[in-house]
Amino acid sequence: MGERQQVQFPQEIVDEYAALGVDLPALFSAGHLGTRMGVEIVEASAERVVGTMPVEGNTQPYGLLHGGASAVLAETLGSVGSMLHGGSSKIAVGVDLNCTHHRGVRSGLVTGVATPVHRGRSTATYEIVISDEEDRRVCTARLTCLLRDVSPGGAPAGAAG
């Protein structure tokens, strides 16, 4: 899958999280599941999150991109946008994910672009459009995240520790 790109964040955001002892690139990564699936985040801001994922290794028995793989990419990108919108005092928790699959893909790389539909104080909703290498829409998803306060230890307020 080649060398991973490092997501570039505005310096003020890096500084804000560093002051809290948080590794920002790790926090906004695709996580263990996304890493296994080859998800790479290439651009990240509260206004737009872009990521890619290979079709190879993420197919269902018929050789098409698995719908669940598209859901992983969509939730990853929408969650990153929600976290960036919420800032360092909030954590984004997905509460609703809807995916509509438009066409099958058998090879190559798919690209997801998440843009906000709603950014409030307690929820954030993103639309995620996943396209193939010919810029044909493969999937349209919508993710809503609850924005919960982070307790001083870094866990969501009210979470068991």
Question: How far is residue 52's CA from residue 41's CA, in Å, rounded to a whole number?
Answer: 7
Please give the single-letter amino acid code of residue 56: E
* Amino acid code (one letter) for 68: G
Instruction: Note if 134 is an active site residue.
Output: no
Report the distance separating Cα 82 and Cα 120, nearest Å. 10
> Which among 47, 56, 75, 134 is annotated as catalytic?
75
**What span, in angstroms and rounded, lies between the C-alpha atoms of 80 and 147?**
12
Tokens of 155: 């866990």
| Catalytic (active-site) positions | 75
